[in-house]
Amino acid sequence: MPLVIGLTGTIAAGKSTVAQLLVERGAIHCDADKLVHRLYDPGTPGFDRVVEAFGTDVVGADGFVDRKVLGAKVFGKPEEMTKLTTAMGSITDAIHAEIDRWRAELPDDAVAVMEAVNLMEPGYARWCDQTWLIAVDDDTARHRLVETRGMSEEEVTQRLKSMVPRDVRAPGADWVYDNVGGREALEDAVAGEYERIYGMHMAGEPLTSVFEPWWEKFLERRREQLKAAGVPAPEMAR
């Protein structure tokens, strides 16, 4: 079976750049956000449920859900995020089906990358052989978001508040890279880790992952927090 890498990271950390570097090495890539967006394309039940839950103002002039408007309604608001997850439908099934397809169709020497902002917390990384976390400190992220993406300070604050902190996620990742250096340093780091695990994969050596033990503990803590807040638990991977 192919080697499946789960790729995640904090906002503006550079995970999409890492994904592109892996594609340049021949990897198959799927952006989970795009899978999720299809769940509420016009004409789908998810579209109708999202509009019913959040109002017609989330629909843009092109007839599609305006993700910027929708994001402003849910980021940093656990109850609203849970409502969105319920409205969209089974994100879990969409991601799991794609990884299952890779396992069934790709050759043993292939590498596939599932890139997702929320790869770890819902448990999707359980279906990956290795989990990579690309991280950056909040100050650097804020600068990148304001300067390169044109976000307002308020938008940036909402996005950062919605992120699980790096230090919480790091123990559940098999490789953590703090992307605060230049492009060359990032390329060298990615190349080194890729070559290491791909070499093990091709040699038939087992690639153990630290994710599942971390996730079980994270899930237990999250359920306790949500229960205390009176918020229904979101969908988790099965």
CB atoms within 10 A of CB 119: 28
pLDDT at 188: 98
Every domain of the chain and the residues it spans:
3-39+90-229
Which tokens hold the place of 73?
Answer: 């309604």
Structure tokens of 105? 């169709």
What is the residue-level pLDDT of the chain in tens, covering all 238 positions? 999 999 999 889 999 999 999 999 999 999 998 888 888 999 999 999 999 999 999 999 999 999 989 988 998 788 898 899 889 878 888 899 999 999 999 999 999 999 998 899 889 999 999 999 999 999 999 989 998 888 888 888 888 888 889 999 999 999 999 999 899 999 999 999 999 999 999 999 999 999 999 999 998 888 888 788 887 665 555 5
What is the side-by-side strand order in the sheet with 3-9? 28-31, 111-115, 3-9, 130-135, 175-178
Q: What tokens does 69 get?
A: 């408007």
pTM above threshold 0.95: no
- Rounded Cα gap, residues 1 and 10, in angstroms: 29
CATH of 3-39+90-229 among 3.40.50.300, 3.30.70.20, 3.30.70.330, 3.30.70.100: 3.40.50.300
d(CA 79, CA 225): 12
> Between the CA of residue 214 and those of 28, 37, 52, 140, 162, what are the distances in Å?
27, 28, 36, 27, 20
